[in-house]
Amino acid sequence: MEVAIENRNLDALKELCKAEKKLAKDDEIVTAKVENLLKRRGFKVAEQPSATKEEMARRHFAFAMNCMRTGLCSKGIPYSTLQDLLETSSIDECKQLFSIIEENINEFKQPGMMDSVQNAILRSCNDLLRRLSRTAETSFCGRIMFFLSRFLPLTEKSGVNFMGHFNTANATVYDETDTESEALLTVATSSTPAAESEDIEVGEIEEDNAKEITVTPEMYRQFWSLQKFMSNPNSLYEKDKFAVFKRDLSAVLSLMTSNKLEKPSAEEEEAAERKERKKTSADDVFFAKYLTSPKLLPLQLNDSSFRRYFLMQSIVIFQYLTAECKFKPASKKMVLNEEQAKYISDCEEKCYRLLSDTMPRGNSFKDSLKRIMQREHEWNMWKNANCPDFAEKADKGAMQMYKKKTRTPFNPTNLDLGTPELTKLWNYEPDVLAACRADKRKFSPSLANFIRDPLDEMDPEQQVEEQYKSINDSAFQWRAARLLMAKSPGYISKQEKSAEPTTNIKEFLERTMYNSAKNIDEFKAGIEAREKKEEEARKKVEESLKRKLDTSKAKSSTSSPNPYADTLSDETLAQLAADLAGHAKQLAEVFSIGSAEETLKKTPAKTFCLKVLKEWAEKNGRSGKALLNTLISDIEVVEIAQKSLRKIQEST
């Protein structure tokens, strides 16, 4: 059997075991013999040189696994041989042998195998971690912890620190004597070049243009004394110790706030990102415990990584102090009072602010840390619930194999916009542009339907009061302006240079709608009849005024002055404007001045009338008779003008 195991001849080992079982008549004795020979062969493999040990170990482990599958040995023997190899090998050899365990993790997690090897794997990993240095062999420690996190089930109590124990033996040693710390801090903060060159030790880096932070011996002791609270947060529930923690932490945060790190330039940030991208997993990284020399603290506070370590420590402690933890002893009343809780909340916000101000990429680092702390909170709540198995909430049905969906070949004639509704909407009409231009999509009313009611309201025969007209509504005015601009040819008309701009939108829209109705067949007949009636009424008024004028002429004596024969002088126009000032609006309507209301708000009535009369007189030869004929459309205005002219004639 020993030769068959050494040559890894499984068939020969099977035949020998059958023969042994017939002679011994006890299967357990034969199995124990095979297991003993496998373990002895494992010790011989451990004696191999480092160059060939890993390969020999792989072959022996594979042979032991085949023996286990055929029932020649128990399920725990293959890993037991690996465990013996790890215990008798150096650290460098263990790094190579551990890859065998990592590669066979799926074999170890099989239902029948898991119960046999779980405790052995956990024990050997813990033994390795005890042998390793956390600072010099950080990478290998991480491999072991990562393997355990993948191998052990999530509900395994040994991997979650269920009782919440702290490593109180993690003490940070620093100089607590006043004389030594004061002397070192004095040297460290010296500004003379000679002192700087003398005090820089081997391995230290002299930073140019670094902002100097003054650290007193008291600040040095306050900063490093906080580490004892970090390693044992439960002590902070004592009132006296919390007061010390509050005093020291406030001093440190104030120092960091008053001495913010300078933001690097864009070129420096870009260079740092390029350097970060070039880093590979094979880069050697050394993780050291805090260096507590008084000479280093001013430089450490200028380092962004050092600040982040300290601020992250503080945030973790803050969350622990305020979290509800099942394992906190209820008898000790480990709860913060209202004042302490408010201080912790304020300090947490300050730490996050300092992290966002710590470059490079301060805001992204702060956001990442918040997500990590949220995950930590959820992890704590899961532990409070006694670590329930997530498998209980999973689907009870058997897992189905993933069926790959059949791919639909691309067809350019069939449009697919991603969802059935979008595709249906796009394929609603064959020509989408034509469908958008279809008549059924034109929601604006026709011009005839829109102006029908306003035209009726403008008709004097309808006797619609001014306050009830549609044109007074601002919304109607906006819609009318938009529609007339698009469909009425007279909306934009060429105006004379001397004409004043239109400021009364109401009158402008009424005039435009009325002129537009003249070109619509539906309204032509009604507008012609309306204009005919208005013309007849105007003629009647003119005839009536003429008869009154003729009657006044007959009554007057032959020596009476004739107001129509004289030319209108500037003095006459000024007197006439003064008499007509009370009827400025009617005068503006007679001369068809649209913006009279706005102008009268800014200009006195007499000045407005004088301006209007002068402009008319310049264009019409200053004829008094022509002026009265123009004013005849308004009886009240023409009578006032006639009396004023007669009065002026008599006085002269």
Who has greater pLDDT, 101 or 286?
101
Orientation angle between helical segments 91-103 and 138-151, nearest 10 degrees: 20
Co-location of 498 and 357 in the same domain: no
What pLDDT does 247 receive? Answer: 93
Q: With respect to residue 415, please indicate whether it lies within any of the assigned structural domains.
A: no
Q: What is the per-residue pLDDT for 192?
A: 40
Report how far residue 196's alpha carbon sits from residue 175's, in angstroms, rounded to the nearest whole number.
Answer: 22
Structure confidence at residue 409 (pLDDT): 77
State residue 562's pLDDT score.
Answer: 45
pLDDT recorded at residue 375: 92
User: What confidence score (pLDDT) does residue 367 get?
Assistant: 92
Q: 523 and 575 share a domain?
A: no
Question: Residue 395: inside a domain, yes or no?
Answer: no
* 82-93 mean pLDDT: 88
Max mean pLDDT among 44-53, 259-268, 603-612 falls in 44-53
Among 389, 405, 427, identify where a domain stops: 389
Query: 352 or 538: which carries more pLDDT confidence?
Result: 352
- State the total domains in the chain: 4
pTM of the model: 0.47
The total of other beta-carbon atoms located within 10 Å of residue 54's CB is 19
Give helix 304-322 / helix 338-357 axis angle, nearest 10°: 150
How far apart (Å, rounded) are the C-alpha atoms in residues 362 and 264? 11
Query: Looking at residues 103-132, what average pLDDT do you find?
Result: 87
Q: What is the pLDDT of residues 484-498, one digit of tens each?
A: 888 887 777 655 555
Asked whether residue 118 carries a pLDDT value surpassing 80, the answer given is yes
Confidence of residue 190 (pLDDT cuts 50, 70, 90): low
What is the C-alpha end-to-end distance of the chain, expressed in Å? Answer: 157
What is the rounded average pLDDT of the residues 429-435? 80
How confident is the model at residue 588, as a pLDDT?
76
DSSP 556: S
Q: Percent helix, strand and coil across the chain, each rounded to 5? A: 65, 0, 35
Between 150 and 410, the higher pLDDT residue: 150
Q: Are residues 6 and 127 in the same domain?
A: yes
pLDDT above 60: residue 130: yes
Amino acid at 546: K
**At 312, is the pLDDT very low, low, confident or very high (cuts 50, 70, 90)?**
very high
Do residues 480 and 610 both lie within one domain? no
* pLDDT the model gives residue 618: 74
Report the pLDDT value the prediction gives residue 204, as an integer from 0 to 100: 44
For the cut 50, the answer to whether the pLDDT of residue 564 exceeds it is: no
In a domain, 199, yes or no: no
Q: When comparing pLDDT for 427 and 421, which is higher? A: 421
CA-wise closest residue to 247 among 262, 233, 236: 236
Top-confidence residue, 190 or 635: 635
Say if residue 230 is in the same domain as residue 321. yes
Percentage of the chain beyond pLDDT 70 is: 82
pLDDT at residue 206 in the model = 47
Per-chain mean pLDDT for the chain: 79
Angle at 497 between CA 491 and CA 499, to 5 degrees: 65
Provide the pLDDT confidence category of residue 315 given band limits of 50, 70 and 90. Answer: very high
- pLDDT score of 237 more than 80: yes
- Same domain for 468 and 565, yes or no, is no
Same domain, 238 and 382: yes
Same domain as 223, residue 340: yes
Tokens found for residue 413:
């004639």
CA separation for the pair 57, 100 (Å, rounded)? 8
Q: Is the pLDDT of residue 617 over 80?
A: no
CA distance 130 to 122: 12
* pLDDT of amino acid 197: 43
Domain shared by 501 and 354, yes or no: no
Q: Are residues 510 and 459 in the same domain?
A: yes
Of 57 and 418, the structure prediction assigns the larger pLDDT to 57
Mean pLDDT of the 118-133 span: 89
The span from the CA of 85 to the CA of 481, in Å, is 95
pLDDT at 346: 93
The secondary structure of 375-429 as a DSSP string is: HHHHHHHHHHTT---GGGGS--SPPPPPPPPPPPPP-TTS---SSHHHHHHHTSS
| Across 54-77, average pLDDT | 86
Tell me the residue range of the domain where 186 lies: 178-191+210-266+288-389
Asked whether the predicted pLDDT for residue 263 surpasses 60, the reply is yes
Closest CA to 252 of 216, 291, 209: 216
> Is 623 within the bounds of a domain?
yes
Predicted confidence band of residue 276 (pLDDT cuts 50, 70, 90): low
pLDDT score for 593 = 73
- Based on the domain organization, do 254 and 371 belong to the same domain? yes
What percent of the chain shows pLDDT beyond 90?
A: 8
Is 222 a member of any domain? Answer: yes
Note whether residue 500 is domain-resident.
yes
Dihedral (CA of 320, 326, 328, 331) sign: positive
| pLDDT reading at 194 higher than 50 | no
Q: In this structure, are residues 14 and 1 in contact, taking their beta carbons and an 8 Å threshold?
A: no
The more confidently predicted of residues 517 and 328 is 517
